[in-house]
Amino acid sequence: MRRVCAVFGGSRGIGRAVAQLLAQKGYRLAVVARSLEAAGAAAGALGGDHLAFSCDVAKEHEVQSTFEDIEKNLGRVNFLVNAAGINRDSLLVRTETEDMISQLHTNLLGSMLTCKAAVKSMIQQQRGSIVNVGSVIGLKGNSGQTVYSASKGGLVGFSRALAKEVARKKIRVNVVAPGFVHTEMTKDLKEEHLKKSIPLGRFGEPADVAQAVVFLLESPYVTGHVLVVDGGLQLVM
């Protein structure tokens, strides 16, 4: 049976690198982002019969209809990667409620909604594998990132609880927690300064994280795990 994977946030950065690696391994991919144009460009660049979908993960009706579209066009989803995410970094006292809500809705609620839709289908198939992209900041915390940390820490609790809930249905749920990775999200950071604190001495590349995501997607006896991919950053945080 062909392996079908929905990659939310697959239009660029980490999600795109995951989609590229999975395409090389023969998966059929649904590349999902809010921008259909960007998702379409990413899916097209993969070659083959991969498809792009537009969806805001923070909107339940869009997530539901997107899953219906994916399954109609690509077949049953048996793999899910949640790499859609945003950050609105600022000190808590300066953070607008609107920015709190958008981070929690995209990073945490969004993954809950996509997992709910995927798990319904996976239960019927009695198989499935999910990887949620968290962050080392969700484990360690960081000044200026309180709400982002909460969204990513919450994702760990959610993923571990879901892993327990669905294990008997042969569905696995894991988390990859990256450190600093070269993507749009980190383009304004002071890399020269920050990389001094990373034991491996460099930012990660999206492909570094993709390798870990695919490892967890395919590891048949691993569930409820958080795999940190940060060049050793958490050792010194």
Kindly tell me which residue out of 4, 5, 12, 226 binds ligand NAP, with binding defined by CB under 6 A: 12
CA distances from 205 to 186, 200, 211, 220, 233 (A): 11, 13, 10, 26, 14
199 three-class SS: coil
User: What residue type is 124 in one-letter code?
Assistant: Q
- Give the nearer residue to ligand NAP in terms of CB position, either 38 or 237: 38
The CB-of-169 to ligand NAP minimum distance in angstroms stands at 26
| CB 175 within 8 Å of CB 156 | yes
Angle made by CA atoms 66, 68, 73, in degrees to the nearest 5: 95
Distance, C-alpha 87 to centroid of its chain: 14
60 binds ligand NAP (CB under 6 A): no
Kindly tell me which residue out of 2, 24, 25, 35 binds ligand NAP, with binding defined by CB under 6 A: 35
Kindly tell me which residue out of 80, 133, 212, 213 binds ligand NAP, with binding defined by CB under 6 A: 133
153 binds ligand NAP (CB under 6 A): no
Provide the binding-site residues for ligand NAP, judged by CB under 6 A.
8-9, 11-15, 33-35, 38, 55-58, 83-86, 106-107, 110, 133, 135, 178, 180-181, 183-186
